[in-house]
Amino acid sequence: MPKGTAQQKGERIKYRKVGAKMVPYIDHYRKPEVQAQRNQLIYMMKKYRPKTPSDRPIRLLVCLYFDIKQPKKLWGTYKTTRPDCDNYVKEIKDCMTEVGFWEDDAQVVDLHVIKRFAEKATIFIQMEELSDE
């Protein structure tokens, strides 16, 4: 489970391939443990990426399931403690942009995020391209 976005201490310009073109982006410094989690998330996403990045509006559903050591009766209940939903989603969207799900994460126009407790820590992501109509 990613820890959310890390405080950014420095930045440098890098380039990534999006479709057939190289696009500049600002790479922010991350703590090594946060970078390791990010790399794992990117690795897991790569097998699901589309052949070409989407250029359409996107609906995104992100379900974050956190494992809990307390009794089973808490499984399925909402997680109302920190970190906030938006901290997780920022990192997930950044990874999806880097992997090539879309051209820019600004294309996400409909976003739903759920945080719950579960037996096993899991991230479920569903992406849907929307029509302009």
Q: What is the mean pLDDT of residues 22-33?
A: 72
Which residue has better confidence, 49 or 33? 49
Q: 102 forms bridges with which residues in the sheet?
A: 54
What DSSP string runs through 83-104?
A: SPHHHHHHHHHHHHHHHTSBS-
Q: For position 6, what pLDDT does the model report? A: 47
Q: Tell me, which fold does domain 11-129 have in CATH?
A: 60s Ribosomal Protein L30; Chain: A; (3.30.1330)
Please name the residue that has the structure tokens 């990192």: 91
- For residue range 69-93, list pLDDT tens digits in order: 777 778 888 999 888 888 889 989 9
- For residue range 95-104, list pLDDT tens digits in order: 999 999 999 9
Structural tokens at position 72: 């089973």
Tell me if the pTM is above 0.85: no
Domain positions in the chain = 11-129
